[in-house]
Amino acid sequence: MSRKINLNTSWSSKQGILDKVNEMERKVKIIKKLYFILDLYDGMEVKTASKKHGIGYMTGKRWKDQWNENGFDGLERKKGSGSKSKLSEEQLNIVFELIKEGKLLTKQQIYSFIKKEFGVEYSLRQIDRIVKKKLKCGYSKPYIIFHESPEDAEKQVFDITEDINLNLCIFGFQDESHNNIDENKMRIYYPLGTKNIRYKTRERITSSIMGFQAVNGQSVAYFPKRSVTYYFLQFLLRVRIANTDNPHTVTKIIAIINDNYHSEESVLEELKRRNQKEHLNEFVENYISYMKITKDKKPTHKQIERKLNSYKKKINVKNKVTIRNMRAMRLASLINSDKELKNSLKEIMPIIMILDNCKIHKSHITLGVSKSLNIDLRFLPKYSPQFNPIEQVWRSIKREISYHIIKTKKQLQKTIYKAYMNIINNKSYFKNWIEKYTKHKYQI
């Protein structure tokens, strides 16, 4: 969603500003003519003065004649003066409509169209002037919206926000961004006569960041090792800590984060134990008992072998997915089983978090933990990032990265974090969103 800058428009209308710009531009042109006349006062020849001011001899002669005839008034540009446009109003309207329909998108396309259809050849620079000044069109990178975004996407946003009262909850937006050191480089100043060179490493350096943009609470930034459920749970815990005033509750959550039970080492030990012969035999016996009770028959040797092989894949110590899933389940069990923590969090102001439909956000583990932490997850329509204000924060951060020469991952994360904390609480990112989609009045 594009953000609207807080601007005092009481000084003038947009048209008033444009009129003022045109007035000042006319004055600048008159000043140039007056400097030319001053040179003639000093005895300079018309040809020499014209060369000095970068104009043709005939233009200089015309300025001299205008001064001789009417003085200051003669130098002012008369309305309607100048050469007649090579394109008629009708032809200009045709070009405008094609731009509006998205059929002419670049200067080169417009140049080719005008030359082919109307037999008129402009320079690309003149094309730019015509499109901007006469047709009143802008020229910038487009904001992308997915075709897959549902037609009633905005209605869905209203549906998930209709009961939100910012006076009764902590409210914010969540998203994740993947960054690298090869973001589009911006133009920078450099001394003329030298080459504009910047050095970079060939190493591929990337870093992801999970962010919570709080409207009326504490914003959070977290750098996960991977975009998986386990690290998203870690992120939710940090959001809860940042927006909890009870020191005892904060201490309990920190203890859960640091608990060795969900560490990679602990999970590997458990997987090694399950791979031992005694445990595998126990698994087979349990499976046979289960089949006798539920199916009223003993499984065949082939069925037992298939089941055992499937189980061995799940407990493979080299299976990173299994390790991450077990860590997530163990972390979730510590949170969900702590009744004292859950009861204390019920007494604290709930967090309402707007986020996308990423798989890790909607997993049953995530939903269970968010409920225990008193965090209400509200999901945006599918393929509709334009309704999440934090997307604009990521764009600003990527622009900031492009200004820096980054050599290490630590330096990249430091740059991202500094930029994030500098802009994340800028109200202009979400002010219009709050005013549009929330019913209850809240002073931003």
Of the pLDDT bands very low, low, confident and very high (cuts 50, 70, 90), residue 82 is low
Tell me: pLDDT of 172 over 90: yes
Tell me: pLDDT of 81 over 70: no
Model pLDDT for residues 191-241, shown as the tens digit of each residue: 888 888 877 777 889 999 999 999 999 999 999 999 999 999 999 999 999
95: phi then psi, degrees, rounded to nearest 5: -60, -45
238 and 356: one domain?
A: yes
Of the pLDDT bands very low, low, confident and very high (cuts 50, 70, 90), residue 263 is very high
Show Cβ contacts of residue 45 under 8 Å, excluding neighbours closer than 6 positions.
none
Q: Which of 327, 347, 367 is the last residue of a domain?
A: 347
| Structural domain includes residue 121 | yes
Amino acid occupying residue 411:
Q
Query: How far apart are alpha carbons 301 and 280 in whole angstroms?
Result: 15
159 and 238: one domain?
A: yes
Query: In whole numbers, what is the pLDDT of the chain averaged over residues?
Result: 89
User: CB burial class (10 A; 0-12, 13-18, 19+) of residue 100?
Assistant: exposed
126 and 104: one domain?
A: yes
282 and 325: one domain?
A: yes
155 and 35: one domain?
A: no
Q: Which of 75, 99, 116 is the last residue of a domain?
A: 75
| Structural domain includes residue 126 | yes
| Structural domain includes residue 369 | yes
Model pLDDT for residues 115-141, shown as the tens digit of each residue: 999 999 999 999 999 999 889 898 887
HEC string of the chain equals CCCCCCCCCCCCCHHHHHHHHHHHHHHHHHHHHHHHHHHHHCCCCHHHHHHHCCCCHHHHHHHHHHHHHHCHHHHCCCCCCCCCCCCCHHHHHHHHHHHHCCCCCCHHHHHHHHHHHHCCCCCHHHHHHHHHHHCCCCCCCCCCCCCCCCCCHHHHHHHHHCCCCCCCCEEEEEEEEEEECCCCCCCCCCCCCCCCCCCCCCCCCEEEEEEEEECCCCCEEECCCCCCHHHHHHHHHHHHHHCCCCHHHHHHHHHHHHCHHHCHHHHHHHHHHHCCHHHHHHHHHHHHHHHHHHCCCCCCHHHHHHHHHHHHHHCCCCCHHHHHHHHHHHHHHHHHCCHHHHHHHHCCCCEEEEECCCHHHHCHHHHHHHHHCCEEEEECCCCCHHHCCHHHHHHHHHHHHHCCCCCCHHHHHHHHHHHHHHHCCCHHHCHHHHHHHCCCCCCC
* Tokens of residue 169, six digits: 């909850």
At residue 183, the pLDDT reads: 64
| Structural domain includes residue 105 | yes
Query: How far apart are alpha carbons 371 and 342 in whole angstroms?
Result: 9
| Structural domain includes residue 12 | no
302 and 239: one domain?
A: no
The CATH number of whichever domain residue 376 belongs to comes to 3.30.420.10
285 and 336: one domain?
A: yes
Q: Dihedral of the CA atoms 20, 22, 25, 31 (nearest 10)?
A: -80
**Percent residues over pLDDT 90 in the chain:** 57
Range of the domain at 297: 247-347
| Structural domain includes residue 17 | no
C-beta separation of 236 from 373 below 8 A: yes
55 and 175: one domain?
A: no
341 and 302: one domain?
A: yes
Q: Which of 221, 124, 264, 262 has its CA nearest to residue 423?
A: 221
| Structural domain includes residue 356 | yes
Report the b/e string of 317-342 with b at 16+ CB within 10 A. eeeeebbbbbbbebbbebbbebeebe
Tell me: pLDDT of 251 over 90: yes
Count up the domains in the chain and report the number. 4
Mean pLDDT along residues 381-395: 95
At residue 77, the pLDDT reads: 62
Q: Which of 312, 347, 382 is the last residue of a domain?
A: 347
At residue 85, the pLDDT reads: 78
Mean pLDDT along residues 46-68: 89
Show Cβ contacts of residue 18 under 8 Å, excluding neighbours closer than 6 positions.
none
340 and 425: one domain?
A: no
48 and 123: one domain?
A: no
Tell me: pLDDT of 3 over 70: no
| Structural domain includes residue 195 | no
Block residue for tokens 């946003």: 157
Tell me: pLDDT of 15 over 80: no
Return the bridge partners of 25, or none. none
Find the range with the poorest average confidence among 68-82, 145-159, 328-342, 365-379: 68-82
At residue 306, the pLDDT reads: 92
Helix axes 107-118, 89-100, angle to 10 degrees: 140
Model pLDDT for residues 333-378, shown as the tens digit of each residue: 999 999 999 999 999 999 999 999 999 999 999 999 999 999 999 9
Find the range with the poorest average confidence among 234-238, 260-264, 312-316, 426-430: 312-316
Order of strands, sheet of 206-214, starting from the edge strand that comes earlier in the sequence: 220-222, 206-214, 170-180, 351-355, 375-379
171 and 260: one domain?
A: no
